[in-house]
Amino acid sequence: MSKPKVFIAMKGVPEVAINLLRKRFEVEICESIQSTKEEMLKKIPGFFGIFCCPSIMINEEVMKAAGPSLKVIGTMSVGYDHVNLPVMKTNGIRLGYTPDVLTETVAETTVGLLISTTRRFFEANHAVKTGGWKNWTPTWMCGKGIKNSVVGIIGCGNIGTSIAKKLVTFEISQLLYTSRSEKPAVKALGGKLVTVDELVEKSDFIILAIALNEDTKFIINGERLAKMKSHAILVNIGRGGLIDQDELIKALQEKRIGGAGLDVMTPEPLPLDNPLMKMDNVVLLPHIGSASIETRIEMALITANNIIAVLDNKPMPNEVHC
């Protein structure tokens, strides 16, 4: 009797997870670094499961191409805005994801991104490597420190809470946050629950750690960028669609805010001719928030076990219920 089939839609998945799947499935891995739409549509008819990541769109066309055999999608991520949930639900397909496991790694990346942006680390490193470091002056490469600043976190789930815990150790003057309800753990740190508008007006550092959905798309728009302090640093580790990127570019070009640190953007990868690429006050990372070896291995194993659970008709370790 032949095994059911799983399609892994990108290369580089840790072997330990692939080997786990191979015990129960016939596993096929995409031919390119990341599966194209054309390859996906060609490969997946008759497959039981798809192992994917946020940059791979699982839309109605893909699910229809797979046919009635498709029972599970496992995404190696916390976010799942790349999956068409209504179509998935209509077709009785289950979705597994990887929350919690990457909380600390993403929080670490966020703090590093904030520091490197406000203290101009990448700009300074470039100066060292290109001959820009000639003579020392007291104000050369100075940036704003975190101590005594107001930090605002938009979205205080597990990741936002971990970020808050780390940043209060920098002796900030005030911690503001947004959430659907008050978070006792953040309140215990001195955090104050506020509206998004109050947060962007008062914060020196604004961190986006919220999921992308219809309610949060462009939560940072032109109007809110206009309310920010002229030295404010905006950090995004959520999804690119949380920010109206065209408006952000205008605000940065006109020096209406101090800078931006982005681990996510629109589109991904960002074209080399995008204006953000040319700005000294912008730090760009290639969506590596969870990129520690330990975290990625655990994410891959959770994704594999989510898929196996559906084969065994058991609860997933982490299932999205929609």
Catalytic positions are 287
Among 275, 206, 297, which Cα is nearest to 243's? Answer: 206
Query: Is 247 in a helix, a strand, or coil?
Result: helix
Position of tokens 């947060």? 199
Amino acid letter for position 43: K
Q: Is the peptide bond before 267 cis (omega within 30 degrees of 0)?
A: yes
Q: What are phi and psi of 190, to 5 degrees?
A: 95, 10
Alpha helix locations (H) across the chain? Answer: 15-22, 37-43, 60-66, 85-90, 103-118, 121-130, 158-167, 184-187, 196-202, 222-227, 245-253, 293-311
Q: Is the peptide bond before 269 cis (omega within 30 degrees of 0)?
A: yes
